[in-house]
């Protein structure tokens, strides 16, 4: 086998793809269809709550085409970070959609499901042995953090996915997985270079975002040879250029030369990007450098409370001039009125002043109108509703110095003015954990499903 071909249909399962692009990708005769389904970008809620940031009907639409094509061509379909965050609830949700699609297609398939949830006791034991360390500007982990995680997952490397392929799975649903692994596992199993396979996966993972014009809902195709790989967009409206591919290497990471992952790093210091005719780019020279100890990334999110928000505008110049002291006065009034409630968070975001950048805003100068978002988070929805409602009515009638608009301070966008926004989570684990065996953490279940 001199080359191996990988089709990445879309940046995130559920983001969609044009059928013509997908068919053009299939015409290039891929050996595997792989897709990343996850991201931490949408924030901690999804990992914490077990919900997906994609919609079921959109995921089902994509899976319908992916499952049908993979089974028809007898090539594996590999889905990474199933359900968006890769915890058991996410994976099972994604599995139920695959099963529904199989029933509708009248097909059966052997499905491997790989869970990435970490037993709290195991993590605590590892912590006590000193085998967990912060990843980036994060505090040391504590046992309380581990116990408080609503979901705690580890990011799997190549090994569990390769094991599922060797076990003969036609469809693989992986929990939290290092993004490139779903694209790289089959090539590496077939003896292709690990560094090149992972680097190709790193680019395929975001699909046509790496092409120009970029798109998160279109395909990218990778062909891996013995000493380089070539990327192209099946959609003729998109090109891969040296710059678009190299630029993608920068995306969402802090150092483009050294890209760390489970068990090792990709070293791009010698990488060469070459533009070929026909909108293709060849990449070579990337090396994989295994680490002495195998580390996996742990991700956890814990429940903070429940949120209620109220949105309103201010146009009065006298009030805008003193908005900071008005908000401080309202917060004081709320605290004074609910002295028994200590455990709440009340914040008023000021769009038009520093709503986007918060404390990072170098020029917090208000414009001629402000958009306020009153946000209350409390230990129950009722408390959040109470604090938000009280802050809102206090702000509405707050008497600041020099006030002339004595009928009310706020232009409410909606009635009802307050929106109960439900559970709030925060990331509380972002650490590296040392493991002896990169397979043993991740439980695989293999079964036949469908019809």
Partner 1 sequence: MRYVKDVALVVRSKNAGPYELTLDLMFPDENTYDEVRGSITKERIAELYKIDVSQVLSIVHFAPAHAVKITLVRPRPSGDLGETDVYGAQQHAPLFDLTY
Closest by CA position to 406, among listed 416, 421, 396: 396
> What does the alpha-carbon distance between residue 88 and residue 150 come to, in Å, rounded to a whole number?
12
> What does the alpha-carbon distance between residue 220 and residue 205 come to, in Å, rounded to a whole number?
9
Does 357 contact partner 1 by CB under 8 A?
yes
* Comparison of 254 and 406: residue with beta carbon closer to partner 1: 254
Does 246 contact partner 1 by CB under 8 A?
yes
Instruction: Identify each DSSP E strand in 182-293 by its residue range.
Output: 220-224, 229-232, 258-261, 264-267, 272-276, 280-284, 287-290
Does 362 contact partner 1 by CB under 8 A?
yes
With CB under 8 A as the contact rule, which of the stretches 145-153, 159-167, 255-263, 312-320 interacts with partner 1?
255-263
Does 377 contact partner 1 by CB under 8 A?
yes
* Comparison of 313 and 355: residue with beta carbon closer to partner 1: 355
Instruction: Identify each DSSP E strand in 167-291 by its residue range.
Output: 171-174, 220-224, 229-232, 258-261, 264-267, 272-276, 280-284, 287-290
Q: Of 115, 273, 295, 306, which one interacts with partner 1 (CB under 8 A)?
A: 273
Residue 442, both tokens: 């991740």
User: Mask of contacts with partner 1, 381-420, x by CB under 8 A?
Assistant: ----------------------------------------
Residue 389, both tokens: 């409602």
Q: Residue 300 CB, nearest distance to partner 1 (Å)?
A: 11
Does 260 contact partner 1 by CB under 8 A?
no
* Terminal-residue alpha carbon distance, the chain: 35
Size of the site for partner 1 (CB under 8 A): 42
> What does the alpha-carbon distance between residue 291 and residue 107 come to, in Å, rounded to a whole number?
42
Does 191 contact partner 1 by CB under 8 A?
no
> What does the alpha-carbon distance between residue 390 and residue 406 come to, in Å, rounded to a whole number?
19
Q: How many beta carbons lie within 10 A of that of residue 123, not counting itself?
A: 25
With CB under 8 A as the contact rule, which of the stretches 162-170, 217-225, 249-257, 438-446 interacts with partner 1?
249-257
Q: Of 1, 74, 191, 254, which one interacts with partner 1 (CB under 8 A)?
A: 254
Range 3-32, binding partner 1 (CB under 8 A): none
Does 42 contact partner 1 by CB under 8 A?
yes
Does 243 contact partner 1 by CB under 8 A?
yes
> What does the alpha-carbon distance between residue 188 and residue 195 come to, in Å, rounded to a whole number?
9
> What does the alpha-carbon distance between residue 33 and residue 182 come to, in Å, rounded to a whole number?
9
Residue 51 is classified by DSSP as -
Does 422 contact partner 1 by CB under 8 A?
no
Residue 174, both tokens: 């992986």
* Element of type H or E holding 166: helix 158-166
Residue 141 is classified by DSSP as P
Does 336 contact partner 1 by CB under 8 A?
no
With CB under 8 A as the contact rule, which of the stretches 42-50, 157-165, 314-322, 335-343 interacts with partner 1?
42-50
Q: Of 292, 336, 359, 436, which one interacts with partner 1 (CB under 8 A)?
A: 359
Residue 125's contacts (CB-CB under 8 Å, 6 or more residues apart) are none
Range 114-143, binding partner 1 (CB under 8 A): 135-138
> What does the alpha-carbon distance between residue 114 and residue 165 come to, in Å, rounded to a whole number?
12
Radius of gyration of the chain measured on its C-alpha atoms = 25
Does 105 contact partner 1 by CB under 8 A?
no
Does 252 contact partner 1 by CB under 8 A?
yes
Strand, helix or coil for residue 351: strand
Residue 237, both tokens: 């409206």
Under a CB-based contact definition with an 8 Å cutoff, are residues 156 and 441 in contact? Answer: yes
With CB under 8 A as the contact rule, which of the stretches 23-31, 35-43, 76-84, 218-226 interacts with partner 1?
35-43
Does 292 contact partner 1 by CB under 8 A?
no
Does 225 contact partner 1 by CB under 8 A?
no
* Comparison of 172 and 301: residue with beta carbon closer to partner 1: 301
Does 328 contact partner 1 by CB under 8 A?
no
Q: Of 190, 242, 403, 443, which one interacts with partner 1 (CB under 8 A)?
A: 242
Under a CB-based contact definition with an 8 Å cutoff, are residues 448 and 109 in contact? Answer: yes
Does 45 contact partner 1 by CB under 8 A?
yes
Place of tokens 């917060």: 331
Does 355 contact partner 1 by CB under 8 A?
yes
Q: Residue 359 CB, nearest distance to partner 1 (Å)?
A: 5
Q: Of 255, 293, 405, 440, which one interacts with partner 1 (CB under 8 A)?
A: 255
* Comparison of 115 and 273: residue with beta carbon closer to partner 1: 273
In the complex, the residues that contact partner 1 under the rule CB under 8 A are 40-45, 135-138, 242-243, 246-247, 249-257, 271, 273, 304, 345, 347, 349, 355-360, 362, 377, 424-427, 430
């Amino acid at each position: 086998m001199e080359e191996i071909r990988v089709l990445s249909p879309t940046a995130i399962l559920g983001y969609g793809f044009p059928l013509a692009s997908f068919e053009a990708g299939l015409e290039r005769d891929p050996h595997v269809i792989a897709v990343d389904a996850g991201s931490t970008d949408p924030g901690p809620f999804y990992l914490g709550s077990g919900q997906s940031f994609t919609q079921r009907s959109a995921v089902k639409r994509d899976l319908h085409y992916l499952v049908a094509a993979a089974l028809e061509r007898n090539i594996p379909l590999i889905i990474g970070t199933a359900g968006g965050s890769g915890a058991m609830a996410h994976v099972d949700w994604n599995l139920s959609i695959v099963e529904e699609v199989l029933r509708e297609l009248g097909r059966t398939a052997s499905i491997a499901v790989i869970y990435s949830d970490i037993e709290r006791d195991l993590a605590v034991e590892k912590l006590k042995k000193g085998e967990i360390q912060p990843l980036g500007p994060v505090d040391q982990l504590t046992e309380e953090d581990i116990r408080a995680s609503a979901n705690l997952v580890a990011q799997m490397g190549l090994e569990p996915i390769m094991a599922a392929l060797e076990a003969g799975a036609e469809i693989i649903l992986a929990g939290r997985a290092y993004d490139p692994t779903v694209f790289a596992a089959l090539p590496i199993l077939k003896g292709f270079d690990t560094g090149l396979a992972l680097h190709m996966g790193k680019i395929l993972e975001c699909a046509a975002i790496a092409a120009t014009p970029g798109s998160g809902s279109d395909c990218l195709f990778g062909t891996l040879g013995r000493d380089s790989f070539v990327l192209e967009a099946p959609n003729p409206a998109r090109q891969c250029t040296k710059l678009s591919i190299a630029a993608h290497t920068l995306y969402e990471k802090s150092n483009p030369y050294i890209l760390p992952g489970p068990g090792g790093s990709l070293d791009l210091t010698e990488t060469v990007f070459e533009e070929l005719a026909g909108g293709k780019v060849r990449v070579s020279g990337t090396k994989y450098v295994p680490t002495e100890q195998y580390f996996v990334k742990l991700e956890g999110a814990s429940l903070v409370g429940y949120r209620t928000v109220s949105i309103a505008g201010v146009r009065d110049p006298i009030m805008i001039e003193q908005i900071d002291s008005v908000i401080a006065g309202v917060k004081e009034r709320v605290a004074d009125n609910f002295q028994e409630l200590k455990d709440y968070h009340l914040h008023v975001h000021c769009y038009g002043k520093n709503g986007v950048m918060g404390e990072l805003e170098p020029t917090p100068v208000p414009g001629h109108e402000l958009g306020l978002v009153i946000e209350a988070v409390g230990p129950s929805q009722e408390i959040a509703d109470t604090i938000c409602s009280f802050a809102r009515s206090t702000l509405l009638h707050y008497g600041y110095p020099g006030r002339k608009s004595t009928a009310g301070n706020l232009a409410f966008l909606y009635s009802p003015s307050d929106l109960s926004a439900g559970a709030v989570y925060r990331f509380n684990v972002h650490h590296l954990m040392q493991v002896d065996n990169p397979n043993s953490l991740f439980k695989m279940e293999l079964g036949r499903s469908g019809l």
